[in-house]
Amino acid sequence: VNPPQFVAALDIGGTKTSAALVDAAGRIVGRATGPTPAGADADAVLDTAAQLVRDVTGERGPALVALGAGTAGVVDPGSGRILSSTDAITGWAGTDVAGGLRRRLGLPVAVDNDVHVHLIGELTTRAPAEFSCVILVAVGTGVGGSIALGGRIHRGRRSVAGHLGHVPSPTAGATPCSCGGVGHVEAIASGPALVRAYNRWSEHEPAGPAVDLVEVAARAATGADPKATSVLEDGGTEVGRLIGGLVNVLDPDLVIVTGGVSGSGAAWWDAMLRAAWADLLPSIRAATPIDQVVVRSMLGADAALIGAARIAGERAA
């Protein structure tokens, strides 16, 4: 009888890093999470990640066969290097994440972008193999995404495909975007953009200290703060129009919507669905109810870990 085998999974984000131990059936059987030392340097981030893997592995270390990691940034999936990255993690661009983790842990390692592994996790658990197109839309600190065609992640010529937030929005005007451009969806629909919009308004109110997205969502949920509701509705409408356009272009089986902003309440979600529906071509609108095409992530943060475990099993070297 062979001993049971496990893979380790990592989700390296700008604020926290999560590790999981995943069994041969794809189930998470152990977890560890810690803050990412994002302001230090790449070596500190890799040290933290490797330690979390050791923490979660415990005495099962000898049975660990591979490690899969999802991380922020544009990743070359072949080499496991970061091709480009925002400043969410200091010095992350150019980092050999696969090599660095392999050296620290002595394991075969596979690395991919965090949004791509999130979609791989969703595909593993809920999308039938016959689905020709599944889109993940992640709305949080930024507006990102991933597109699977024929069950495989569409990466594009430069590995950059999936940056759904950087399409022009008719309502974004000349608002500066995190990418250096102007007028993109992310510039007005990301979590920080919604918080800015709300706080700009509340400056004119006598009792208006700056609030975060959780507080804006809480105020909208009471129904007593029309401005909070309207900020969330505007953000949902932006993302909804983006999704409606994508559905017209790609006619997907499923659009999975995830990220902190998507969980900010009914005002956001309902506005998103209404706007997506309103932009659909009549032939698509007639074929399927919008809430059967555009759905919530069912795995949440676990999707990225389950996806990372999947790439560990398939591509770690």
For Zn ion, the closer CB: 65 or 179: 179
Rounded distance between C-alpha atoms, residue 239 and residue 54, angstroms: 39
Q: Is 179 in the site for Zn ion (CB under 5 A)?
A: yes
Residues 6+ apart with CB under 8 A from 4: 23, 24, 63
Instruction: Order the strands of the 294-296 sheet from edge to edge.
Output: 152-153, 143-149, 133-139, 254-258, 294-296
| Minimum CB distance to Zn ion, residue 183 (Å) | 8
Asked whether the beta carbons of 72 and 115 are under 8 A apart, the reply is no
Q: Which of 184, 219, 241, 310 binds Zn ion (CB under 5 A)?
A: 184
By the rule CB under 5 A, 181 interacts with Zn ion: yes
Q: Smallest distance from the beta carbon of 254 to Zn ion, in angstroms?
A: 25
Q: Cβ atoms within 10 A of the Cβ of 162, count?
A: 24
* Min dist. Cβ of residue 165 to Zn ion (A): 6
Q: Is 104 in the site for Zn ion (CB under 5 A)?
A: no
Residue 14 CA to its chain's centroid (Å): 12
Q: Which phi and psi angles does 287 have, rounded to 5°? A: -85, -40
For Zn ion, the closer of residues 104 and 184 by Cβ is: 184
Binds Zn ion (CB under 5 A): choice among 166, 219, 241, 310: 166
**Total chain residues near Zn ion (CB under 5 A):** 5
Contact window for Zn ion (CB under 5 A) among 125-133, 182-190, 254-262, 279-287: 182-190
Q: Could you list the residues that contact Zn ion (CB under 5 A)? A: 166, 177, 179, 181, 184
